[in-house]
Amino acid sequence: MTGFRTLDQADVANKRVLLRVDLNVPMEGVRVSDATRIERVAPTITEIADRGGKVILLSHLGRPKGPDPKDSLRPVAAAVSAIVGRPVGFADDCIGPKAEAAVSAMRPGDILCLENTRFHKGEEKNDPTFVDALAKLGDLWVNDAFSAAHRAHASTEGLGHVLPAYAGRTMQAELDALSKALEAPQRPVVAIVGGAKISTKLDLLGNLMSKVNALVIGGAMANTFLAAQGKAVGKSLYEHDLLGTAKETLAKAASRQCEIVLPVDAVAAKKFEANAPSRVVSVDAVGGDEMILDIGPRSIEHVVSVLARAKTLVWNGPFGAFEMEPFDTGTVEVAEAAAELTAAGKLVSVAGGGDTVAALNAAGASERFSYVSTAGGAFLEWLEGKALPGVEVLRVK
């Protein structure tokens, strides 16, 4: 990887390493219900410890307005310990006397987790006084939290200006994968963009259509495009006030020679619920009392044929109402096809964004994808072509 300092350039032995990780994991009470983000950063933690560094974990959890026991990182630190298979100490504050005492007691190879950075207002404000209070605890800063890199907070960005800064192994893998997907991809590149609303994905569509050869539109978003083409979409979810925008988007894509792939048939039902009676219908023949809940078999076949011609895939957002069976079929079958092409060495596939990961996991396809990002908002901002503060600060100037 060029342009970024990584752990390869860092001398961590006997150093206090402030390691920003994203321990913002889903919790059920004090139980971590999905440990994927912890598993991803575990190799960085153990590498620094094995090289004799003192590993000091920094993270936020939730969106607390101040200290709040329900957003304590203590139970998460225990989960980290279980995953890395080593003791992980905990300090009740991320700055001040408690943190300082815990850090000064560390020996090379030790791992310590500090309390939620968002318990201090200075974190989100990127307040220099808070940055300095954190910086006092470390000799260098390693950022391994791509999923929080769209935030210019003290622990995700501010520290990079006052301490020697390096990308951790997960950040490195993420940047590598993302660059292979959009910055220097093998062509043709296809993007699949799903989800409910065009309104939240306009910047993303605009950026993608200047970079990819084909843009496959799925989810309720596709309904707005179909309606903009004058099709009757019945009771389907769509954005009435965005028909003009959808038309402009289609025209813009045509002028950039980006092929837009919309559904040609749909699975339609009269009720929005799992296993509601449904039928396969052409997108020209949706009944006035029906709603589109998934793409149909001809659409699946079409998308799979587009993937078969592609060398690179970027995927954000599911096709249908994937959380309800059987309306997950479109997402599951396209995911399976992408996973197979990837496993056969024919496709580089990168996916990310909240629902996407859940959908690909449910489809059993994630493992075979080239890279599945655990980032939500950061992945979206990257797809929009925005600079991420937590990444920019790592660039070699």
Applying CB under 5 A, which residues contact Mg ion? 62
**Is-catalytic flag, 168?**
no
**Is-catalytic flag, 53?**
no
Q: Which CB sits closer to ligand 3PG, 147 or 223?
A: 147
- Minimum CB–partner distance for residue 62 and Mg ion (Å): 4
Q: Which CB sits closer to ligand 3PG, 94 or 269?
A: 94
Q: Does 377 bind ligand 3PG (CB under 6 A)?
A: yes
In the chain, alpha helices (H): 36-50, 74-84, 96-104, 121-125, 128-135, 159-162, 169-178, 202-209, 219-228, 243-255, 297-309, 329-343, 354-362, 377-383, 389-392
- Minimum CB–partner distance for residue 41 and ligand 3PG (Å): 12
The size of the interface with ligand 3PG (CB under 6 A), counted in residues, is 8
Residue among 159, 154, 119 at smallest CA distance from 142 = 159
Per-residue interface string for the shown chain with ligand 3PG, residues 113-152, x marking contact by CB under 6 A: ----------------------------------xx--x-
**Is-catalytic flag, 244?**
no
Q: What angle do CA 208, 211, 215 make, to 5 degrees?
A: 50
Candidate list 7, 15, 16, 24; residue touching ligand 3PG; CB under 6 A:
24
Q: Does 70 bind ligand 3PG (CB under 6 A)?
A: no
Q: Does 390 bind ligand 3PG (CB under 6 A)?
A: no
Q: What angle do CA 193, 382, 170 make, to 5 degrees?
A: 110
Q: Does 376 bind ligand 3PG (CB under 6 A)?
A: yes
Considering the candidates 86, 197, 235, 386, report the single residue annotated as catalytic: 197
Q: Does 265 bind ligand 3PG (CB under 6 A)?
A: no
How many of the other CB atoms lie within 10 Å of CB of 314?
25
Residue among 362, 354, 357 at smallest CA distance from 380 = 354
Give the torsion sign (CA, 202, 204, 207, 208): negative
Concatenating the DSSP letter of every residue in 56-120 gives: EEE---S--SS--GGG-SHHHHHHHHHHHTS--EEES-SSHHHHHHHHHT--TT-EEEE--GGGS
- Minimum CB–partner distance for residue 366 and ligand 3PG (Å): 18
**Is-catalytic flag, 37?**
yes
Binding site for ligand 3PG (CB under 6 A): 22, 24, 63, 147-148, 151, 376-377
- Annotated catalytic residues are 37, 197, 354, 377
